[in-house]
Amino acid sequence: MAEDEMQAGTGLWRRTPPAIFPPVLGLLGLGLAWRRASEVFGIGAAPGEMLLGAATLLFLFTMAAYVTKLMRRPGVFADELRILPGRAGLAAMTLSVFLFALVLEPYSLGAARAVLAAGFAAHTVLALVIVRVFVTGPPEQRRVTPVWHLNFVGFIVGALAAAPLGYPALAEAILWVTLPLAALIGAESLRQFLHAGVPAPLRPLLAIHLSPVCLLGAVALMVGQGALGAALAWAGLGLAVLFLAGARWLTQAGFSPFWGAFTFPLAAFAGHMELMAGLAGGPWRILAGLALVGATLAILPIAWKVMQLWAKGRLAVQTNAAEA
């Protein structure tokens, strides 16, 4: 696939970068938002299913590439988790499994539930290995970053899939466990931001803070916690407006693989707005439409550019991906 993976002594996919997965997660989330749009706006199901089909193929291909790398040297998994791009990318990989379960839901409930179980197993292993890396590694690895939301609050994506797959009690339990955890991570991140700021190259990661707000809100709406879901919708809207106003500051360093961090939060925001539109209508329908269009216009080109970097052999170098 990539030039740096085909050079002598390496072989195909020995250095598959985890950074390929945040855009994949964003594309799956975008496809699911378009699927829901057929219910909220009464449009045909074709756009959503076509996008989900393409995103699923990309997901399966990237998973095959990374699993091949993992089979060559299983220890590479822990190596990836010692650096920030690796922790973000591998979390996006396991979270993509949850969304893949949602993709399968209309076609095979049994298969979707099996994939959901695999997602919980994979993300649990990921979280445990990250904790081990933090405990045994240098103190700077333990600094709280927005990626912690993906690593430790990411189970809420499983709840997003569990509710429609017939496990609402599990979804609600995850909601109440991850809600305070997300609040603690957000508060510590805010403290660090006010104290020391954020270097320009890392600023796109701040967009990740939008994801837990929207995912927690969406799950709350799904399990009947309407007041909480609506409150988080307002919080998500405020955060989205803040990020939009600061877009130039967030992107000051120019395009990089970290831009993949913009993709899933945008999809999660669109999905949350759609759920609010379905329940409350009115202005929420307008907000949902704007969010869906905005997410589409942003996610597709970002995903394309990141995949181009992978195809050209530059993504692994730029993100310091480990080699099997």
Q: What is the dihedral of CA 112, 116, 118, 120, to 10 degrees?
A: 180
| Residues recorded for the chain | 324
Q: Quick check: 322 and 79 in contact, CB under 8 A?
A: yes
> Tens digit of pLDDT for each residue in 5-21?
544 345 678 899 999 99
Rg (CA), the chain: 19
Confidence at residue 10, expressed as pLDDT on a 0 to 100 scale: 52
Contact 200, 252 (CB under 8 A): yes
Would you call 161 exposed, middle or buried from its count of C-beta atoms within 10 A (0-12, 13-18, 19+)?
buried
Considering only CA atoms, which of 198, 188, 238, 193 is closest in space to residue 214?
A: 238
Nearest CA among 107, 64, 83 for reference residue 19: 83
Mean pLDDT rounded to a whole number for the chain: 94
Q: What is the DSSP letter of 45?
A: S
Tens-digit pLDDT profile for residues 170-211: 999 999 999 999 999 999 999 999 998 899 999 999 999 999
Sequence-separated (6 or more) residues with CB below 8 Å from residue 41: 285, 288, 289
- State percent of the chain over pLDDT 90: 89
Lookup: tokens for 205:
């990661």
Q: Hey, where are the domains in the chain?
A: 3-318
Kindly give the residue spans of alpha helices, DSSP state H, lying in the chain: 21-40, 46-72, 76-80, 84-104, 109-136, 147-148, 155-162, 168-196, 210-222, 226-245, 247-250, 263-280, 283-311, 315-318
In angstroms, rounded to a whole number, what is the distance separating the alpha carbons of residues 102 and 203? 30
Asked whether the whole model's pTM tops 0.85, one would answer yes
Please check the confidence at residue 2 and state whether its pLDDT lies above 50.
Answer: no
pLDDT of residue 116: 99
Residue linked to tokens 């927690």: 216
Q: What is the pLDDT of residues 84-93, one digit of tens each?
A: 999 999 999 9
Q: What is the pLDDT of residue 13?
A: 82
Rounded to 5°, angle at Cα 308 from 305 and 312 = 145
Domain at 3-318: CATH code = 1.50.10.150
Mean of the pLDDT values across residues 266-290?
A: 97
